[in-house]
Structure 1
Amino acid sequence: MRPREVRAEYDRDSITVYQAFSPAIAVPALRNGRFVPPFSRTRMTWIKPSFLWLMARSGWGRKPGQETILAVRISREGWDEALSLAVPTDPDRRVFRSAEEWRSAFRHAQVHVQWDPERSLRGEKLEPRAIQIGLSRHIIDRYADDWTLSIDDRTPLAHKIHRHLQRGDVSQAKRLLPKERPYPLAASLAHRLGATP
């Protein structure tokens, strides 16, 4: 089984998650320090604590509609609440006794959890799995209004790291990466998420 571990940049009170948006959504969010229209509260939004996973997904902030990399600092209470409500996007037999049990749980889930291959600096898929959390329209107000503590623009950092990589300066690129480390999970919560014990 590939290791599944929540790794993140966090402190006693907060955890940083990443999202990539077009400037039309990101600029008002940065200006207000919170998500405001045209950010949508009527569809699922995905948050990821892995910086490199989002870099691979967004092309270092160069793909259309993903030009701005936001670091969203949310409360640990909010993050833990989201995890406590999460249901995996696949019927993991270590979590569910049957496919029907999973279908029933997933049908009513306010939060989805997905495990995707972690990425290297070069974007290659790695064996460890990185967590991705999908917040449905039923809970997105809590994320936008209650959990979010601050929003920062990490696009310049993403571009700077990418330039170092393009020049072959891998050591300098690594030095600039956010300091992510294992996030503590209670055993019962790790089981619910299908995380590696």
Structure 2
Amino acid sequence: MPRPRCERCQRPLDHCLCPLIPSLDSRTRVVLLQHPSESSHALNTARLAALGLVNAQLRVGEVFDDLVELLQTPGYRPALLFPGEHAQVLTAYGEVDDRPLLLIVPDGTWRKARKLLYLNPLLEALPRVTLGAVAPSRYRLRKAPEPGALSTLEAVVEALNVLEQPVSFDALLKPFEALIEGQIKAMGAETFQRNHGTP
């Protein structure tokens, strides 16, 4: 029989993360487009980002039919958080009345994220933004495909910390860190060290 789950964070009730999830406001509107294969993943960091940000939304799917309306959200300028040859490194919002970003964040493995762009040509056409130098990922349970690769939640936190400085969005990482600690505890220190190196 499946363990009862929290309807909000989708974690088993005895590991509910809701008490750790903040409710942070941001000028930036964050829209997370999640590949369906990620939605049932135990470490669903996009869901944590959406739950912890008031001005965020999580969409699950491969093709998003209402992208035209979404990208025309009044008061925002859309940008895709995704590396690429012409991606601009994010910088803080200026003093002048700078329209905040409607930050579109694909969520999935690199292959699945690229597939989302391929299946939604409007996304492919958006101006791209990327992160500058980043701290190493705290995501100790997945091997990073390359140095500087972050989980979706970490990428969102880094982006908002840059855009909206001096405001900090690090509180979003609390449930993420608790989730990782819980997974490590469940697998046992020995197994963790064998599979993922020293904690």
TM-score bracket relative to the smaller structure: under 0.3
TM-score normalized by the length of structure 1? 0.27
TM-score normalized by the length of structure 2? 0.27
Q: Which has the higher contact order (CA 8 A, sep 6+)?
A: 1
Q: Which has the higher strand share?
A: 1
